[in-house]
């Protein structure tokens, strides 16, 4: 996981996105987040399910890359759902780029989700990305 976190830190740097990896300030239940005012992602390295941290990091980077302003700026849940879906989609792409660079191959989306701690609620997005990019 350390190599992947390093990759995501470098990815953030390369895209002019600030990041803070924090093991102290957050409770294990606290989710990572993106603050558009500072263009910074805040990653809870103390999160209860450690295997999910890289996906959360990629997801929050995706909010920055997508130009998201945060769900509180929208009146409708529809915008929030679209924003989250787009961030999940891009996060999967970022993780697939990491796999390509490191010679990691996954033959199905379930295997990929297990390896990167992607929650099952995002499974439909992973399936769609796998079908588009890999033909699986």
Q: What is the pLDDT of residues 27-82, one digit of tens each?
A: 999 999 999 999 999 999 999 999 999 999 999 999 999 998 864 434 444 445 88
Percent of the chain with pLDDT over 70: 90
Tokens, residue 63: 């909010």
Beta strands, E only, the chain: 18-22, 33-35, 40-44
Beta bridge partners of residue 33, listed in sequence order? 42
More confident residue, 121 or 74: 121
């759902």: which residue's tokens?
Answer: 81
pLDDT of res. 82: 85
Beta strands, E only, 5-132: 18-22, 33-35, 40-44
- Mean per-residue pLDDT of the chain: 89
């Amino acid at each position: 996981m350390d190599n992947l976190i390093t990759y995501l830190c470098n990815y953030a740097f390369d895209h002019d996105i600030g990041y803070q990896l924090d093991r102290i300030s957050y409770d294990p239940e606290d989710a990572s987040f993106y603050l558009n005012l500072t263009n910074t992602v805040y990653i809870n390295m103390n999160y209860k399910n450690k295997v999910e941290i890289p996906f959360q990091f990629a997801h929050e980077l995706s909010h920055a890359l997508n130009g998201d302003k945060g769900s509180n700026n929208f009146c409708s849940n529809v915008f929030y759902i679209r924003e989250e879906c787009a961030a999940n989609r891009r996060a999967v792409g970022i993780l697939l780029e990491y796999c390509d660079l490191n010679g990691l191959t996954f033959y199905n989306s379930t295997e990929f989700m297990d390896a990167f701690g992607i929650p099952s609620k995002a499974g439909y997005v992973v399936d769609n990305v796998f079908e588009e990019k890999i033909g699986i």
